[in-house]
């Protein structure tokens, strides 16, 4: 029996003048995600059908589609020439052998001899005959069999709705730069914003040789997890070793993290300007660690020369909630591998928790800020994923 994949997108996105644009981006992203797999995509009302793929590739194709933002649900359906016997054969193949069920039928082909209710009743009756241990429960069935009698004399039969990512197609909401550490939070933050349709690149800071090279490999792996959802991205890697050494040598140790953050923001801003990026994205959550107070965030924001926004999608989340999302996107097992973040190098014993801007600036004035930024920019390495 021939299999096809039904992809549905959420209708709320289709309202208004953006419909055509949304659809074009979504189909482009689906095509990109299926690169390397033989397939055809056909557009129907409110959904797409993928067919002509090799059946051995079905699981791999589904894995790809489950990561495309903008897809609401996915079903694998049998496609048959419309006749009661053919429809019944396909239903029998996916029918459970125990439990309660209902048959739901949608009939677009009004020329077919039975109404949708009659088809459902007929097929339901035949299934009860074929499987003695199942019974009909229209209100609260343990499984449902769906029949879609289409206008083109073919019918689709499927059992399951697989949840897609939802969200908006990548490419419909500007471009952001994720400040990607090797931790749990920043990949989750990046995923959340990309899921709203934003194209994303990543920026990682390291303090080699104080941090080891495995830290870099780990970040590349995390960026790959994200790029499984978003498609092509750039991973920028910058050394902040000289900056940390300068802070360590010249400033009060308690300001290490606060000052380093300001340098990170400035470097990110320069890259953003050069690459036409509209915002920065961080994994900060209010109150999670000493540097993530509102005063700490104010200090980071203050370092920027322009009005570039910093998005902090995790701001209102508890750690447990972030961990759950990290697992769901497939980043957790990589994130928990031990590594040294550059922030942990020269870590002060008593970091300032509520830095006052005037004090931060007084400490920063002890440093050749512009020279340090330019030095760091010279270490910029770009990895294309």
For residue 182, what are the β-bridge partners?
Answer: none
The span from the CA of 203 to the CA of 201, in Å, is 7
Residues contacting 304, CB < 8 A, separation 6+ = 265, 266, 269, 310
Nearest to 170 by CA among 63, 62, 31: 31
Taking CB under 6 A as the rule, does residue 205 contact ligand ATP? yes
Pick from Mg ion, ligand ATP, none: which does 283 bind, CB < 5 to 8 A by kind? Answer: ligand ATP
Minimal distance, residue 84 CB to ligand ATP, in Å = 57
Our finding on whether 291 is near ligand ATP (CB under 6 A) is: yes
When asked if residue 149 is in the footprint of ligand ATP (CB under 6 A), the reply is: no
Q: Please name which of 87, 93, 236 lies closest in space to residue 153, comparing C-alpha atoms.
A: 87
SS (H, E, C) 51-76: ECCCHHHHHHHHHHHCCCCCEEEEEE
Which of 89, 160, 341, 359 touches Mg ion (CB under 5 A)?
341
Q: Both tokens of residue 324?
A: 């759950």
Least CB distance to ligand ATP at residue 275 (A): 16
Burial of 110 by CB count in 10 Å (0-12 exposed, 13-18 middle, 19+ buried)? exposed
Kind and range of the H or E element at 245?
helix 241-250
207 near Mg ion, judged by CB under 5 A: no
Q: Does 259 bind ligand ATP (CB under 6 A)?
A: no
Q: CB 108 → Mg ion: shortest distance, Å?
A: 53
What number of chain residues touch ligand ATP (CB under 6 A)?
20
Using CB under 6 A as the binding rule, whether residue 181 contacts ligand ATP is answered as: yes
Q: Is 75 a binder of ligand ATP (CB under 6 A)?
A: no
186 binds ligand ATP (CB under 6 A): yes
Three-class secondary structure of residue 111 per DSSP = coil
| Nearest residue to Mg ion, scored by beta-carbon proximity | 183
Which of ligand ATP, Mg ion, none does 300 bind, CB closer than 5 to 8 A by kind?
Answer: none
Name which of 102, 101, 58, 109 is nearest 83 in CA terms. 109
- From candidates 183, 313, 351, 355, binder to ligand ATP by CB under 6 A: 183
Cis peptide before 318 (omega within 30 of 0): no
Only one of the segments 80-88, 163-171, 202-210, 271-279 lies at the binding site for ligand ATP (rule: CB under 6 A); that segment is: 202-210
Distance between CA atoms of residues 359 and 58, nearest Å: 60
Strands 310-311, 279-281: pairing is: parallel
Binding residues among 146-205 for Mg ion as defined by CB under 5 A: 181, 183
Our CB check for ligand ATP shows the closer of 33 and 211 to be 211
Span from 32-40, 135-143, 303-311, 338-346 in contact with ligand ATP (CB under 6 A): 338-346
User: In angstroms, what is the minimal distance from the CB of 181 to Mg ion?
Assistant: 4
Minimum distance from CB of 41 to ligand ATP (Å)? 36
Close Cβ partners of 365 (under 8 Å, ≥ 6 residues apart)? none
Q: Does 292 bind ligand ATP (CB under 6 A)?
A: yes
Nearest Cα to 204, choosing from 186, 185, 192, 227? Answer: 186
Would you tell me which residues interact with ligand ATP (CB under 6 A)?
179-181, 183-186, 203-205, 282-284, 288-289, 291-292, 341-343
Would you tell me which residues interact with Mg ion (CB under 5 A)?
181, 183, 341
């Amino acid at each position: 029996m021939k299999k096809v994949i039904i992809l549905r997108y959420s209708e709320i996105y289709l309202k208004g003048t953006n419909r055509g644009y949304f659809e074009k981006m979504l189909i482009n992203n689906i095509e990109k995600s299926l690169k390397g797999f033989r397939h055809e995509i056909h557009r129907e009302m409110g959904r797409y059908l993928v067919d002509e793929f090799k059946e051995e590739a079905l699981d791999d194709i589904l894995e790809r589609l489950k990561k495309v933002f903008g897809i609401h649900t996915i079903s694998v359906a049998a496609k048959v020439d419309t006749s009661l016997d053919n429809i019944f054969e396909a239903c029998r193949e996916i029918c459970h052998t125990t439990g309660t069920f209902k048959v739901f039928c949608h009939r677009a082909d009004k020329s077919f001899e039975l109404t949708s209710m009659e088809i459902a009743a007929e097929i339901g009756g035949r299934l009860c005959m074929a499987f003695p241990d199942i019974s009909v429960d229209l209100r609260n069935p343990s499984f449902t069999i769906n029949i879609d009698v289409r206008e083109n004399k073919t019918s689709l039969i499927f059992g399951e709705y697989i949840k897609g990512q939802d969200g908006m197609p990548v490419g419909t909401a500007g471009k952001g730069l994720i400040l990607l550490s090797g931790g749990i939070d920043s990949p989750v933050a990046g995923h959340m914003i990309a899921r709203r349709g934003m194209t994303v690149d990543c920026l990682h800071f390291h303090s080699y040789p104080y941090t080891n090279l495995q830290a870099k490999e780990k970040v590349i792996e995390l960026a790959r997890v994200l790029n499984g959802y978003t498609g092509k991205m750039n991973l920028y890697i910058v050394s902040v070793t000289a900056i940390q050494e300068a802070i360590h040598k010249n400033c009060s140790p308690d300001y290490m993290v606060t000052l380093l953050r300001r340098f990170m923001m400035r470097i990110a801003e320069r890259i953003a300007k050069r690459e036409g990026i509209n915002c920065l994205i961080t994994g900060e959550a209010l109150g999670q660690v000493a540097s993530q107070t509102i005063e700490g965030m104010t200090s980071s924001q203050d370092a920027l020369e322009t009005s570039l926004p910093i998005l902090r999608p995790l701001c209102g989340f508890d750690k447990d909630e972030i961990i759950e999302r990290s697992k769901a996107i497939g980043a957790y097992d990589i994130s928990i591998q031990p590594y040294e973040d550059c922030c942990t190098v020269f870590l002060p014993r008593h970091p300032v928790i509520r830095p006052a801007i005037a004090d931060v600036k007084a400490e920063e004035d002890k440093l050749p800020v512009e020279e340090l930024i330019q030095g760091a920019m010279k270490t910029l390495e770009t990895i294309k994923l």
